[in-house]
Structure 1
Amino acid sequence: MEISVMSGKGGTGKTTVSINLALSAGEKIRFLDCDVEEPDAKIFLLPRMERIEYSTVSIPVIDEKLCTYCGKCAEFCIFNALAVIKKKILFFERLCRSCSGCWLICPERAITEGKRENGIIRYGEVGEISFMEGELKAGEETGYSIVRDMRKIPYKKDLITIIDCPPGLSPTLLEAIDKTDFSIVVTEPSETAFHDMRLSLELLERLKIPCGVIINKSSGRESFIEDYCSKKKIDILLTIPFDMEIACLYSKGIPFSIEIPLWKNKFRDIFKKIVKSGKSL
């Protein structure tokens, strides 16, 4: 089973929920930090890193000895990564989206597939958690290929996976939640977070992924979130208060479920509820 944790708006507590859920599960967990632009779950989990791999994207390699400068590749590329000027073909690497169309359409087979590194995948262990994180290389625009590579890596199917997704609604997010069995949407009582929560829930509805909501940093003024979820028949799984003790533990890099047994029990109950619902699907 795969459980994705997403938020829409950044800073609502998505990683906090992911970490505490993993630590409270009471069984071996596979944890994927797919927030490739800002992977920070390791700050709280402190895994022992064991190895790294490099993630790559496909790019065209052009053999100008074979090229007739017909321009079909440039016409095909909607991202304008290729241009043909007289007897010269130009490739703008940062515009390429690795769709593979140019080397498939080239009539002279003058374009072949090449590779370029765009990020790193790190592997580690901590307690009962098998840890993996992706990190986008500086200067790269999108990390969906890193997340795709992470999710393709073989693992024992009896392991339950928790995916800490990137914020927003991007191709990278879509790769992270694709075909997951359940998604938790983390929000907070602010208009911006509420707006993004609705977009996230609409996306999950279209993808037919079962979901629930966790309200973080609760101030007691989130009735508008509760009313919306009630209208949409979406469960509010947990409400986490805007609490000084939790905030102080967070500032020290300590997951609060470790120090406060009440919260460990609450997260474990949510985990069991989600796993049970997944088995009945």
Structure 2
Amino acid sequence: MIISVASGKGGTGKTLVTTNLAASVGEVELLDCDVEEPNSYLFFPDRDGETSFDCKVMIPKIDQDKCTRCGRCSEFCAYNALAVFPQDLLLFKELCHGCGGCAMVCPEGAISEGTRPIGKIFRARSGEVALLWGELSVGEPMATPLIRSVKAEARGDLVLIDSPPGTACPVIEAVRGSDFCLLVTEPTPFGLYDLSIAVQVVREMEIPCGVVVNRSGIGDRGVYDYCDREKIPILLEIPMERKIAELYSRGLLFSREMTEWQERFAGLLVRIEEVIG
């Protein structure tokens, strides 16, 4: 079973929920797909066997001697990654999506497939929790290929995915293929607005969803009324408590310090399984 955790905005508590859920349910694989700023692994300092390897993507490799500057590759590329000049063919590697189409349409066979690294993938283990995360190299504009590669490395029977913030391409790639999407929100007008956008995304992708309300007790009833109208189950509420915030700010899993929450997070998984049916 693959459960992704998303929110529609940053700072609502995706990592808080994902890490504490992973620590409470036992044998699980935790994927941090927020590859631009991964931090889930920081909550598991007792990591063993940490390894890493490069994530590489395909880019065209151009033989300038064979190239006749016909321009077919540039015409084909939907992302303007190739520019043809009378004496040169330029490749803008950051724009390339690695589809390989330019090599297929080149009549002279001047383009072959090469690779380049865009980041690293890390793997470690902390007790019963297997950790897997990606780290995008500085200056790289596209996170989705690395997210796709991180997900391809998943091996567990129960996989939890800590998604990036927002509802753009990285989030869509992170939640794609999930059996369930857990949406974390806060009971404020901002939380409601971003939650409604996230719900539209997962419904378009036909992924069942439920809500965790973080910092409950602040704001208003807008989120609750919205979930009631849209028939979206609220599976857990985490109150606005100073102790939880203090533990989180110190990089500690509050469910390990406030042990009653271990049973509540384990119950969250049971409720997700009931919703999926």
Shorter chain as denominator, the TM-score bin is over 0.9
Q: Please list, as runs of the form range in 1=range in 2, the aligned pairs for 1:1-281 lying within 5 A after superposition.
A: 1-25=1-25, 27-46=26-45, 47-153=47-153, 155-156=155-156, 159-278=157-276, 280=277
Once residues 166 and 154 of structure 1 are traced to their aligned partners in structure 2, the CA distance between those partners, rounded to angstroms, is 17
Matched-pair identity in % = 41
TM-score by length of 2: 0.95
Q: Which amino acid aligns with 2:183?
A: V
Post-superposition Cα deviations, 1:130-149, rounded to whole Å, max 9, x if no partner, equal: 11110100110121111111
Post-superposition Cα deviations, 1:48-90, rounded to whole Å, max 9, x if no partner, equal: 2421111011111111222111101111122211111113111
Deviates more, 1:43-52 or 1:201-210: 43-52
Once residues 145 and 241 of structure 2 are traced to their aligned partners in structure 1, the CA distance between those partners, rounded to angstroms, is 38
Matched pairs, number: 276
Equivalent residues of 2:215, 2:239 under 8 A apart = yes
Once residues 74 and 196 of structure 1 are traced to their aligned partners in structure 2, the CA distance between those partners, rounded to angstroms, is 38
What is the deviation of 1:153?
2.1
Once residues 41 and 262 of structure 2 are traced to their aligned partners in structure 1, the CA distance between those partners, rounded to angstroms, is 19
Instruction: Name the SS of the counterpart of 1:119 in structure 2.
Output: strand
Once residues 144 and 132 of structure 1 are traced to their aligned partners in structure 2, the CA distance between those partners, rounded to angstroms, is 16
Once residues 155 and 215 of structure 1 are traced to their aligned partners in structure 2, the CA distance between those partners, rounded to angstroms, is 30
Post-superposition Cα deviations, 1:72-128, rounded to whole Å, max 9, x if no partner, equal: 111112221111111311111222222222112212221111101001000100011
TM-score by length of 1: 0.94
Equivalent residues of 1:49, 1:122 under 8 A apart = no
Q: For structure 1, which runs of at least 5 residues remain unmatched after alignment?
A: none
Q: For structure 2, which runs of at least 5 residues remain unmatched after alignment?
A: none
Once residues 262 and 224 of structure 2 are traced to their aligned partners in structure 1, the CA distance between those partners, rounded to angstroms, is 23
Once residues 128 and 154 of structure 2 are traced to their aligned partners in structure 1, the CA distance between those partners, rounded to angstroms, is 18
